[in-house]
Amino acid sequence: MTSLLHGLRAGWRLPNDLSDGDRRTVVAMLSNGLTKALARGGFVALSVIYLTSGLRIDEQTVAVAVFIAGAFGLAGSLVGGFVADHLSPKAVTVGSSCGVAVGYGALVFCGDGLVAVIAFSVVAAFDRSSAATLATWIGQRLPTAAATRCRALMRAVGNLGIAIGAALAAVVLVLPAPIPYAAAFLAMAVVEVGGILLLLRAPRPKPVDVRQVGEGSPLSVFANQGFTVFVLGIAALSSFYLILDFLLPLWVSAGTEDRYVLIPVAIIVNTVLVVLLQVPISCLADTPSRSGRALALAGGLLFGSTALFAASTLLPDLPGAALFCGAVVVLTLAELLTSAAGWTLSYAYAPPHRIGAYQGVFGFGTSLGVMVAPVVLTAIVIRPSVGETAVGWLILGGAYAMTGGLLWVAVSRRFQATRCS
């Protein structure tokens, strides 16, 4: 509680002990993150609609394009982090952002499914590479607690930017096609380039002794069994990110159509809470021991959230809607804790000279969880009757609670052993 109150008082302020160079680096990253998020929000809002409505590509082809792009995203995270250990993470981040801008621009020239797959894959691969290299840059530049707070600031700013970008993109949907789509994707590319220019103002990262990095491949990190267990656990927990964006709309359409109006309300509540609370709550997971407890608490909150969703199916109208909204709030709190704990531990497990490779694998795990989530979530929750749906929610919550508890045990043993050695 003391840590949370301290975080609330600190608000969005940067840590006081940052050097001038570190402070300028963080400000440049936050500025870059806001511009990237504006473009990302527009991309998320328009890309699939453009393919299905603008280009008349069938849903199956779009699904294949998204799946293939997801696979390229996994590879991009691994390779980007690995390369950032051997080269300057600033240079690799800038190069990856250039690749994202090229991908956005390529969507302007989409005329068939093949070009769409290529453009989606380019965006996904370089976007995930950029995320891994930026995380590497933060980890190399800042101590763990400050790095976690910086990541929290970037996520809060990013969520705000995505919301604004998606809202601006909504204007395109009411204008005649196809010219507005092409102009929107071109604008995304320009905004991405603007973010690169902001990032170039940051001081050069601290050099890493390449002789310490060693050889190997991006997959060599998996030889660290403790970190591999952590990544697999995070991958399992990360599936909950799709509850809000994917599972709830599908669940509502499958049997609770009278609550369609609650979906945009849920998204707004989630976005507002992330923007307001991600930074303060990061103070609850700024050390490995706190992060382990935060993951256990997140698992418990996820169970509570799924129980509220299950209970909302059994109540009519206003009481059911109230439980539904309460479940979204609890789900968001779990999301905030999981994010902060994941950032801290992804740095804590990594040797100083291999932060990039570890960040790449960490990003791989979260992306993998999100990638397989649609199949897993629908298999567990979407049932032919309301009663079975409620049971599915409880099964899902129980799995999350168990995963959070196991991660707490694994993390506690790993870092307790480190202190005793």
Do both 186 and 225 map to the same domain? no
**Cβ neighbours for 268, distance < 8 A, ≥ 6 positions apart:** none
Residue 312 falls inside a structural domain: yes
377 and 239 in contact (C-beta within 8 Å)? Answer: yes
Distance of CA 264 to the CA centre of its chain: 20
Residue 168 falls inside a structural domain: yes
Terminal C-alpha separation, the chain: 30
The tokens for 308 are: 């509220």
- The CA angle 307-272-14, to the nearest 5 degrees, is 120
CA distance 265 to 159: 16
CA distance 420 to 376: 39
The tokens for 130 are: 């950029």
Do both 247 and 273 map to the same domain? yes
335 and 275 in contact (C-beta within 8 Å)? Answer: no
> Residue type at 202?
A
Indicate which CATH number applies to the domain containing 262.
1.20.1250.20
Per-residue pLDDT of the chain (421 residues; tens, 9 = 90+): 555 455 455 556 666 777 788 888 888 999 999 999 999 998 888 887 777 776 777 767 777 777 888 899 999 999 999 888 888 888 999 999 999 999 999 888 877 667 878 888 999 999 999 999 999 999 888 888 888 999 999 999 999 999 999 888 878 777 765 567 888 889 999 999 999 999 988 887 766 655 555 556 677 888 889 999 999 999 999 999 989 888 888 787 766 556 677 888 898 999 999 999 999 999 899 899 999 999 999 999 999 999 999 998 787 778 888 999 999 999 999 999 999 999 999 999 998 888 889 999 999 999 999 888 888 888 888 865 555 678 889 999 999 999 999 999 999 988 875 554 4
Give residue 389's domain range: 220-421
Do both 253 and 372 map to the same domain? yes
Do both 178 and 323 map to the same domain? no
Cβ atoms within 10 Å of 41's Cβ, excluding its own: 23
Do both 168 and 265 map to the same domain? no
Do both 119 and 193 map to the same domain? yes
The tokens for 13 are: 């302020």
How many domains does the chain divide into? 2
Residue 11 falls inside a structural domain: no
Do both 190 and 285 map to the same domain? no
Residue 8 falls inside a structural domain: no
The tokens for 114 are: 């093949």
Do both 40 and 144 map to the same domain? yes
Distance of CA 21 to the CA centre of its chain: 27
Residue 208 falls inside a structural domain: no
Residue 309 falls inside a structural domain: yes
Residue 19 falls inside a structural domain: no
Q: Which of 173, 203, 233 is the C-terminal boundary of a domain?
A: 203
Q: Which of 203, 233, 258 is the C-terminal boundary of a domain?
A: 203
Alpha-carbon Rg for the chain, nearest whole angstrom, is: 21
Residue 127 falls inside a structural domain: yes
Do both 148 and 250 map to the same domain? no
Do both 282 and 257 map to the same domain? yes
HEC string of 93-137?
HHHHHHHHHHHHHHHCCCCCHHHHHHHHHHHHHHHHHHHHHHHHH
Do both 79 and 31 map to the same domain? yes
Residue 56 backbone class (left: φ over 0; alpha: ψ -120 to 50; beta: rest): left
Do both 236 and 131 map to the same domain? no
